[in-house]
Amino acid sequence: MTARPYISPTAPSRRDGLPNQTPAAPPLRERKKHRTRQALIDTALKLFTQRGFGGVTLDQVCDEVEVSKRTFFRNFTSKEDVAMAPLQDLWTAFLEELQSSRLNGRPLLELAQEALLAALDHVADEEWADRTALSLRLAEQTPSMNAHGLHFCERTTNAALEILHRRFDLVNPDDPRPRLVADMLVAAFRYALTGWAAQAADTDEPAALRAPARQELATRFREAVAALPGSLTLSAAPRQTDI
C-alpha cells in the first residue's frame, strides 16, 4: 500500500473543502524524466512553428534534444501527440482530480467544473500557457493534429464517465445525462480556450502587465459554464426585416 502524503492541519482548503496537500519532491530520476519530456515538447513546438509540422521529422526533434527515438516513444506516441501535449496534460490532470472529487449532493456539472479548474491550477503556469498557444496555432494549420485531438477527447470523455459511474451512484448506464454533462463541459472549455487564445494573439500588452494566463482562462471557462443553462432555453425568434 502506498503511503498518503502528509497533510498539514493548517493547510488552506481546496475548492472541494479538503486541505491542500504538500507532497514531497519527486525522486531525482522522476525529475530528470520530467525535464526530458518538457524539453521534447518545447523543442517540437519550436521546430514545428519554425519549419511547419510536415517539415520536421522525429529524428530531428530527438537530435535537437539529444535523446533517442526510444526515449521519445516512452513519452509520446507520435508527432501529433507531442504537439498536443500541453492540453492533453490538462485533461489528464482533470481525470486525476475527478478520481478524488467528493460529490456531496452537488450537481454533476459543478463537480466536473471544479475538477477541471483544479487541474488548471495544477498544470497551468505561464510556460504552459505559451506552449498551449503554440499548440493551438499549429492545430489550426494541421488536420492530423485536429484528428488526434478529437480522438483524445473521446477517450478522455469515456474515461471520465467510467470514473463517475464507478465512484458515484449513477445506476442507469443508459441515462444520457452524464455523457451530456461531459460534452457540455468540453464545449464550454473549448469556447473559453478559443477566446483566450484569440485575445493572447491580439494583445500588445507586456506580459508583466497582463493578468496571469491561467486566471484569464479560468474566468472565461466559468463564464461559459454559467451560460450553459441559458443556452438550453434560448429562443430563436424570427429576424425582423425592414419593409
Calpha distance 64→53 (Å, rounded): 16
pLDDT of residue 203: 60
Radius of gyration (C-alpha) of the chain in whole angstroms: 20
pLDDT of residue 159: 97
Domain identity same for 224 and 109: yes
User: All 3 cell numbers of residue 154?
Assistant: 473521446
For residue 243, is it within any domain?
no
Q: Find where cell 443508459 sits.
A: 174
For residue 14, is it within any domain?
no
Series of mean pLDDT values for 10-residue runs along the chain (243 residues): 32 44 69 94 97 96 96 97 97 95 84 95 89 94 95 96 88 87 96 90 52 83 96 88 65
User: All 3 cell numbers of residue 123?
Assistant: 498544470
- Residue span of the structural domain in which 176 resides: 84-230
Q: How buried is residue 140: exposed, middle or buried, by Cβ count under 10 Å (0-12/13-18/19+)?
A: exposed
For residue 11, is it within any domain?
no
Calpha distance 78→85 (Å, rounded): 11
Q: How many helices (H) and strands (E) does the chain have?
A: 11, 0
For residue 239, is it within any domain?
no
Domain identity same for 49 and 107: no
Calpha distance 156→87 (Å, rounded): 12
Q: How buried is residue 130: exposed, middle or buried, by Cβ count under 10 Å (0-12/13-18/19+)?
A: middle
For residue 16, is it within any domain?
no
Domain identity same for 65 and 89: no
For residue 133, is it within any domain?
yes
pLDDT of residue 23: 54
Domain identity same for 142 and 210: yes
pLDDT of residue 204: 55
Domain identity same for 139 and 104: yes
The pTM (predicted TM-score) of the whole model is 0.82
Task: Give the single-character DSSP code of 13.
Answer: B
Calpha distance 177→182 (Å, rounded): 9
pLDDT of residue 126: 82
Calpha distance 184→229 (Å, rounded): 10
> What is the domain-level CATH number for residue 171?
1.10.357
pLDDT of residue 12: 39
